[in-house]
Amino acid sequence: MWKLISFLAALASANLAFADAQCTRADRSTWQQESIFRSTMKQQGYRITKFRVTPGNCYEIYGFNRQSDRVELYFHPVTFALVKAEPVLRR
């Protein structure tokens, strides 16, 4: 029985590790426009190669920072506050 409980606990924690960040439950009418977000990120030195809205209602970007390091970042769509940064390994 303990083996089953341990297995289920490990499985649950593994799923949480791959979950998207949860940013907001605010109505989308309060979100800043994607074009404004992209412009703000460009001014901060980011080069966006992929943009998406996550199931957790974050603006997620893949791309490069000012130092040309690969980044995967999650931002709050109303405030543009950084919510989560995922490490991206160089190949």
Tens digits of residue pLDDT in 5-52: 444 455 454 444 446 789 999 999 999 999 999 999 999 999 999 999
**pTM for the model:** 0.75
- Cα 68-38-60 angle, rounded to 5 deg: 75
Per-residue pLDDT, 17: 44
The answer to whether the beta carbons of residues 51 and 61 sit under 8 Å apart is: yes
Q: Which residues of 76-86 are buried (b: 16+ CB within 10 A; e: fewer)?
A: bbbeeeebbee
